[in-house]
Amino acid sequence: EDFKSWFTKTEWTDINNAGHPIKKFYWYWTRKESVIKALGVKLSYLHKIELDARQDFFIENGKKWYLRDLDFGSGFFGSLCSEIEIESVQFQTLKF
């Protein structure tokens, strides 16, 4: 429960009531992380962000931010947050 303080009461309840709580935890975490990066705020701002699991957007100070979940396969996933609606995402493999 060390992470409880980073989530709102509603989010924490949703995580704990999910069929797969760990997956739901990371779903919220990656979305919240993408929001704070888009807003340019510190990690300590996470608990002030309340995401609605039924919506693919977030409103902060009257401004709408769009969210897009990413599935990298093999159990890895993430999230994007943008001021413009994210129609599609394409992955490319970069060779170094």
% of the chain residues with pLDDT over 90 = 70
pLDDT band at 96 (very low <50, low <70, confident <90, very high): very high
* pLDDT tens track for 3-37: 899 999 999 999 999 999 999 999 999 999 999 99
For the entire predicted model, the pTM comes to 0.86
DSSP the chain: -TTGGGS-HHHHHHHHHSSSHHHHHHHHHHHHHHHHHHHT--GGGGGG----TT-SEEEETTEEEEEEEEEEETTEEEEEEESS--------PPP-
Domains and CATH numbers, the chain: 4-82 (3.90.470.20)
